[in-house]
Structure 1
């Protein structure tokens, strides 16, 4: 009798170890590659913030024109986001993600040919169309492999690509601007767009070779491993709602999530598009020096994102782990204004702000993915992301207008801070039961 009990206990332990080993295998196979894809995606999206340091004067463009051009990306993104994600769900992630990456790489490289405000607007709009569906597509793709109780950590690992893109992209962009200016008769900002577009095209081709559409298509998994993964995905989906697409568009919960995400994205792109200019405003002159300093807030954010996501998964709690970093982000932005006269303290404040903003974003996605599945998940995630990313238009546009009129970004930082606090309060207004928080 005791022998049988012992065997049962050992089996349970072995099953647990086996499951952990399978998920470790999947994580190492998928996440580093998706991580690299997102790094090059985010670089192509926000490198215009570094190009701005010299492009505006070269082309005689105003801060308001820059703000509108930086933000108009998200208009194209918004219009094509939901259909793009539904197509991905129908035709498979491998082909659609590859298409997205190759087309946006080509268009991003064409930014070197901008000569006027209208060519700037048109290419940024086309870039938004090309990239539509990439981020929500990856979030959806993660739900194909990982159940909700593992998704917080995995999504955060994937989204640490944002700050690491800043860590890598800041010094790289500064070096290109400074060292390649005048090469073959082209300005540094033109080389910036070309050089940073090439990795996107290369990664798009590699997606066709290396990405697997889902568990059943994974030749690198044996039947036992596939069953372990699929059983957990099936069990995870039992409590989720498979709404019709029509119902997704009329769901108050979906619109609430979209508003929360809008508030957080306001902060994200306030930092993403204006951080180089904020550092330049501290008196830092050289493009390479600005690039090196811009890596500091992102490096701090990487550490914070990982630690907070581990705490969220450990305690099976999401709302407070989303709201508290958002409030810290708001405090950091406010302090960056109040301490503007002290470069060291201002950088510390910007680091706190960047940490808070970037930490709240990946954990936010564990909320809507906790109750959606199937085509509803594809449409719901895309709708939330597309509506939320309209803040990517509103944020740089408003800051650009504010700076043009006041010659300062201070009021813009206060606006972003208020948006983060509103997002935090809306997050806490969602009941724990509705997003199935459970240990």
Structure 2
């Protein structure tokens, strides 16, 4: 099967329309998603003392989000593949928005733990669902770039969300009847997810054939282009259980665990690390200034992420474009708190953040090299769910080490080790994938699951 020049031209037009119509919405969804996930890091600047949380207890609660997330990730993605992205994504956003608002009513460690677990259950499937959704709409040569645009939600949530969150904490006392500003922050920042849940029903068609803004021939050409690529790249579609136990899926889960260890270790503790620079260097930051300084690494990371993804799409190379950023990120976080000025410390943290952000969009092009259909839905969700267990381990270990030693340095070394290990595993996996062509790789996975 080959695509004619006319069909390829129509497919290119459809990709352009999909980029303009969908990507901005997906970025906005991820901004709200990531902000609702990590705004607890800003709340901790006041919340911990108000409700009696130690650094270790806070780290446990921050990480418990990923327990619920882990348990419901694969079922959520399989349901989305069956019922369609539009309805399922709307359900996810509405439920997480309600629970994000409910964080405003937390009273102590137990309610904090329970709400974090429930928030993870509600949100399970959002990120891998979007990764899978992009495979329905974009050919392989443009996916890393589109994924990097979607991932702009992380730095944008930090660049704009950090000042917003700290401003609400500092000045939101008394709003909506909440005594503390951090409660106002949780309530206000949960509302957009509820509104966007309804917007998704109107603005997020499940497949090209469902898009009213595509002409029928454009939708057909785009669908045919992606189907032809899948048939060539994934000769035998793996089933659900085969995908979940495939050694390369397990290896990719380990890689993602290391990369995301850095993402959430920084996401949950960077505001406290920046606050800690005050004592280390004898400087003084207001609460809002802490938010502004925290935004710097993410602004830099956004630029590096897009540049790395575009270069990866242009060259078609994925392994080194994942490994090198992860290794550079490990170096940045390892040395950050040993530097002798706050400027250099923030610069090193910026290198780490850029490494994490640059690695993720390219990394997500690796599973689709050998997974398709329900196997892709299950495999992508499994990689994301196991990888995101580091969202539990990372904050808990970082918080426990800080409580035990009074310093964030040991926790930063653990983050560096995890990211360096991820770089090593992905390089080893790349050598193995180069040695085994797709036809050899997929042959054991053909046929029905047992």
Q: Please, which of 242, 245, 249 is the counterpart of residue 250 of structure 1?
A: 245
Match of 1:310 in 2: 310
Residue pair 2:8, 2:225 contacting (<8 A) in 1 also: no
Question: Does the 8 Å CA contact 1:367/1:435 hold for their aligned counterparts?
Answer: no
Q: How far did 1:249 drift?
A: 2.4
Q: Hey, what does 2:212 align to over in structure 1?
A: 219
Is 2:17–2:214's contact at 8 Å kept on the other side of the alignment? no
Whole-Å Cα distance in 2 between the matches of residues 301 and 236 of structure 1? 31
Partners of 1:134 and 1:81 in 2: how far apart?
Answer: 8
| 1:164 pairs with one of 149, 156, 171 | 156
Residue 70 of structure 2: which of 65, 78, 87 is its match?
78
Number of aligned residue pairs: give it.
Answer: 424
User: What is the deviation of 1:277?
Assistant: 0.4
The corresponding residue for 1:322 is 322
Deviation at 1:75, TM superposition (A): 0.2
* Structure 1 segment 7-22 matched on structure 2, within 5 A: 18-22=10-14
Worse-matched range after superposition: 15-24 or 143-152: 15-24
Q: Is the 8 A contact 1:153 1:310 kept in 2?
A: yes
Most deviating of 102-111 and 329-338: 329-338
* Deviation string, structure 1 residues 205-224 (Cα, Å, up to 9, x no partner): 10011110101111211122
Aligned residue for 1:6?
A: none
CA apart distance, 1:25: 1.0
Following the alignment from structure 2 to structure 1, what is the Cα–Cα distance between the partners of residues 250 and 10?
40
| 2:290 equivalent to 1:290 | yes
> TM-score scaled to structure 1, two decimals?
0.94
Residue aligning to 1:194? 187
Partner Cα separation in structure 1 for residue 240 and residue 372 of structure 2: 11
What does the per-residue CA deviation read over 1:322-348, in whole Å, with 9 as the maximum and x for residues that have no partner?
Answer: 000001101110121211x41111111
Instruction: Give, in angstroms, the shift of residue 185 of structure 1.
Output: 4.7
Residues 1:371 and 2:375 are matched in the alignment = no
Aligned to 1:5: none
Does structure 1 retain, via aligned residues, the 8 Å contact 2:70–2:385?
Answer: yes
Post-superposition offset of 1:91: 0.7
| 2:409 corresponds to 1:410 | yes
177, 189, 202: which one aligns with 1:209: 202
Query: Kindly tell me: are residues 34 and 185 of structure 1, through their superposed partners in 2, closer, same or farther at Cα, counting changes over 3 Å?
Result: closer
2:83 to 91, 110, 126: 91
Q: CA deviation at 1:287?
A: 1.3
Tell me the CA shift for residue 24 of structure 1. 1.1
Quick one: distance in 1 between partners of 2:227 and 2:53? 54
Are the equivalent residues in 1 in contact too, given 2:13–2:218 (CA < 8 A)? Answer: no
Aligned equivalents of 2:351, 2:424: Cα separation in 1: 19
Give the deviation of 1:19 after TM superposition: 4.0
Q: Which residue of 2 aligns with 1:261?
A: 256
- Alignment partners' CA distance in 2, 1:297 and 1:182: 32
Matches within 5 A, 1:346-361: 346-361=345-360
Runs of 4+ deviating beyond 2 Å: 14-22, 181-185, 431-436
Q: Does residue 419 in structure 1 map to residue 418 in structure 2? A: yes
Equivalences for residues 53-64 of structure 1 within 5 A = 53-64=45-56
Cα distance in 2 between the residues matched to 1:158 and 1:132: 18
Task: Give 1:66-145 correspondences, 5 Å limit.
Answer: 66-145=58-137
Task: Give the equivalent residue in structure 1 for 2:444.
Answer: none
Q: Distance in 2 between matches of 1:248 and 1:18?
A: 33
SS of 1:281's equivalent in the other structure is: helix
1:16 shift after superposition: 6.0
Deviations 1:292-331 (A, max 9, x none): 1111111001100111111101111000000000011011
Contact 1:370 1:435 in 2 (8 A): no
- CA change 1:363–1:159 in 2 (3 A) is same
How far residue 247 of structure 1 moved from its aligned partner, in angstroms, is: 1.1
**What is the CA–CA distance in structure 1 between the aligned matches of 2:75 and 2:323, rounded to whole Å?**
30
CA distance in 2, matches of 1:58, 1:286: 19
- List alignment gaps of at least 5 residues for structure 1: 1-10
Once residues 326 and 185 of structure 1 are traced to their aligned partners in structure 2, the CA distance between those partners, rounded to angstroms, is 41
**2:44 match:** 52
